[in-house]
Amino acid sequence: MRITGITTHVVGTPWRNLTYVLVHTDEGLTGVGETRMLGHTDALLGYLREAEVNHIAGSDPFAVEDLVRRMKYGDFGRAGEIVMSGIAVVETACWDIKGKALGVPVWQLLGGRVTDRVKAYANGWYTTERTPEAYHKAAREVVARGYRALKIDPFGNGHLELDAERSRYAVALIEAVRDAIGPDTELMVEMHGRFSPATAVRLARELAPFRPAWLEEPVPPENLKALKKVADTVELPIATGERIHDRIEFRELFESQAADVIQPDLGHIGGILEARKLAATAETHYVTVAPHNVGGSVLTAASLQLGACTPNFRILEHFNDFADAEITGIVRGAPRVDPETGCFAISHAPGLGVELDVDAAAEFPQQRARFDLWAEGWERRAPK
């Protein structure tokens, strides 16, 4: 079996574009992969056009390791977000082909499953008025849909510092959410790399009474010593990793013991097997895995393949019940959260267990998506 070529399909919303890649073979099997780029969709498409000629066409889709190695190192330049995302969509599609050809789900090819369900946490649910009352109501609706965990960034457009008034307001939002969801639902606090270590530590202490499940990206991701300063000072678990695009770059993070939870994005870190290798390394450092998952249903399905076979997999982020829920219809077999358990069931269908409906995807053409976390009102995900 050989790859004959790829086709790309961009699904657009005002705040995000989702890029789907179909990998075609000479035996008629097609696999699908997905990633979400912020402001770099056209750059990704340009890279994929070159990679199709240089690396992808003519390759054996079963030889995933070889294809990834050639795409990562064959152009000599250091692979960053765009290259690793391009690798990810093609790699994921190759696993989809491989599973379909053998009649088994991808997790069966990665060692077999260790669980039959993966807990979900909701994100994108707070696109409402930014008040304690509105957030209380929205959070109750999340729990009513069966979720046992949810995440929120309550800090507005805070950057490095947050004054006393805005700090009190952020705490009031978290207090309202905790009151709405009760003591047993997990509440993750997102900081989006906003703060200096001193500010992050202060806010962590002010939020501690509401028992966050983790504190996510408390400082910008470039300086791991700053992250360690926070981790060594606060008692809350620290989560990070969505903006690290190569599993090798996690080495220093593990050595510093500055994170309790890592959050690789399968659509940015080179795909399913790269994430599985990273998870195995995390396991040796007693670190759990909770992938960043702000894409659509194909990326969710790929992340669930990882979750099925990974002993230290903790929980999976899910946007599509709340933000852009209408795009779920472009994927047949889209994973759903069971309202009785708050979990995704593990699919036993061959490959990823999902199919892209190209005609339905065409109803959502690429947009000039804009998402600025430093802008006032970013949380509404409705850019002007």
Residue 333 zone, left/alpha/beta (φ > 0; ψ -120 to 50; rest): left
Is there a catalytic annotation at residue 292? yes
Burial class (CB in 10 A: 0-12, 13-18, 19+), 172: middle
- Helices 81-102 & 272-284 angle (0-180, nearest 10): 100
Active-site hit among 24, 55, 292, 318: 292
Show Cβ contacts of residue 139 under 8 Å, excluding neighbours closer than 6 positions: 125, 126, 150, 176, 177, 180, 181
Tokens representing 56 are: 């992808």
> Cα 361–53–109 angle (5° rounding)?
65
Residue 252 CA: distances (Å) to CA of 247, 248, 249, 265, 277? 10, 9, 7, 18, 16
Please, are residues 127 and 152 in contact by the beta-carbon 8 Å criterion?
no
136 is catalytic: no
Catalytic residue among 55, 192, 245, 268: 192
C-alpha closest to that of 384 among 38, 14, 56: 14
Determine the length of the chain.
Answer: 384
Active site residues: 192, 292
